[in-house]
Amino acid sequence: MPKSILISPFSQIKDSSPALGVAYLAAMLEKEGCIVKILSPFTEYQNLSVEDIKKEIQFFSPDFIGISLYTQNVLFSYRMLKELKKLKIPIVAGGYHPSIVPHEVLDNNVDIVVRGEGEETIVDLLKYFSGKINIKDIPGISYKDKSGDCCDNPDRPPIVDLDSISFPAKYLYENDDHVKHKRDYRKFGRLITSRGCPMNCTYCCNRLLHKYRCRSPHNVLEEILFIKQRYDIIDFLFFDALFTPANPENIITLCDLIIQERLKIKWRCTARLEFVTPELLFKMKEAGCYLVNYGIQSSNPQTLKRIKRHTDIGFIKQVLKWTKDAGIKADVDFMWGFPWESKDDISKNIEFLKEIYPYINLIMMEGIVLPFPGTELYENYKDQYGFEEWWLNPAKQYDYNPYLYQSISFKDGLLSDPIFNYSLAIKKEIKKAARYITKNNMKNYSFKRKLVFIIIIRISKLLSRIAPSIEINLFQPVLFKIRYIFKRPIF
């Protein structure tokens, strides 16, 4: 029988949750009779070196290796791939980054790039490696021919019927890399109800690859029931790019099904402000929703217009009030440091956060602007600021930042070597925002918990400056425990 090893994205940061994309591909391969092993090099309980990974691959002896690549850590991944290439086993790469710059990826020890969605393509590649079809007949891939020239086969259309895709094979993660305690099964409660996004935000890459499509509510319910029964959990995260679409009937139907089944689950989701109504929020609350994450991004009308967010300050306040009235907590995302913004613009964002303070739970710690390849933000400013292909610069590897204080306070790694060359005044104002975010996110903690957090943050920040490797080795193992203790999001 054919065999494949799929590797979760290489990262210098430990991950807590099973990678959904890899699990979906594994499910499709298993459906075709392939024996699949998933390797998670960096997890809460695992830290595999490249030599460890090579030994695992050699022992398993797969027909091909599949790997997902992220822009933020792609240079780190390329170094790993250089070593894996020595095994002389075909390497297939997929994900957003390979889809946007396939030739770059092919030049870095990858044999085949999957562009766009991979479920149907990975099945064709299995047939190719089994000698059943020709590589030229597989849509949605890029590769090098015998002369070393890059070849791009025609695009593969997006999968129309998402219900036809097998549920992700999360059971392949049920091992010591991910699970040591019963509470760890909460990680398996992440799922998606849709793919793609119909919006046109200038900083976002979701719209570039996937047309917006939804799973049927009954199909989503079936997966919820499966996860609930297998892992004995009641806490779920809908991980969609856009959970509340322009047409909310699917979500209302899903909520009705959850209520009718008397599942007594609780869940959280991301939501687009423009598509939220009081009726929808009350229905979501009745079905178990306890938290919604809103991507507000800015309170600056000029910025909202330039990033193509079709909302205004008044409506933002109104939605947050509706959410509180429905009995649902609201987390908010802001983005800091757009290239056109002044110190006053950032200051006004801080003041706006103070205005909406009574209506919000957490202000998310991530948010300094990072221009991803293919987005309007990247294309419009890469020449002006000279950051073209910044991900290949060893000094600009923004892997969500490895230090503990950034994971529980504010991710400020982009301030030390910013893409947009921020002035000192801008940096100071963003740091001021970081202090306010930290203060806000501790508002519900007891004095004792606040004190513990402050001490941890200060020690982590000090060590990150004078002894980075010591900070990582000291605090990475306790990161997840701290999140459990203080009830921070873990998946």
User: Within 10 A of 248 (CB to CB), how many other CB atoms are there?
Assistant: 18
CB contact at 8 A, 201 and 304: no
Which CATH entry fits the domain spanning 171-401: 3.30.1360.30, 3.20.20.70, 1.10.10.10, 3.30.1310.10? 3.20.20.70
pLDDT of residue 237: 95
pLDDT of residue 141: 98
CB contact at 8 A, 282 and 255: no
pLDDT of residue 14: 64
Which CATH entry fits the domain spanning 3-152: 3.30.390.50, 3.40.50.280, 3.90.1300.10, 1.20.1090.10? 3.40.50.280
Round to whole Å and give the CA distance between 159 and 169. 19
Residues near 107 by beta carbon (within 8 Å), at least 6 away in sequence: none
Round to whole Å and give the CA distance between 156 and 151. 15
SS3 338: coil
SS3 62: coil
Round to whole Å and give the CA distance between 353 and 359. 10
Burial of 151 (0-12, 13-18, 19+ CB in 10 A): middle
pLDDT of residue 491: 43
Show the low-confidence residues of the chain (pLDDT under 70).
11-16, 207-208, 246, 397-402, 477-491
Residue 445 gets which letter from DSSP? Answer: S
CB contact at 8 A, 268 and 291: yes
pTM greater than 0.85: yes
| 341-351 per-residue burial string, b: 16 or more CB within 10 A, e: under 16 | bebebbebbbe
Tell me the C-alpha to C-alpha distance, in Å, between residue 395 and each of 82, 104, 219, 391. 20, 19, 45, 9
Per-residue pLDDT of 183-208, as tens digits, reads: 888 889 999 999 988 888 999 887 66
pLDDT of residue 443: 86
The closest alpha carbon to 153, from 164, 167, 141, 165, belongs to: 141
CB contact at 8 A, 463 and 377: no
pLDDT of residue 480: 61
Intrachain domains 3-152 and 171-401 with the same fold: no
DSSP for 254-307, please give it. HHHHHHHTT---EEEEEE-GGG--HHHHHHHHHTTEEEEEEEEE-S-HHHHHHT
pLDDT of residue 477: 66
Domain range list for the chain: 3-152, 171-401
pLDDT of residue 43: 81
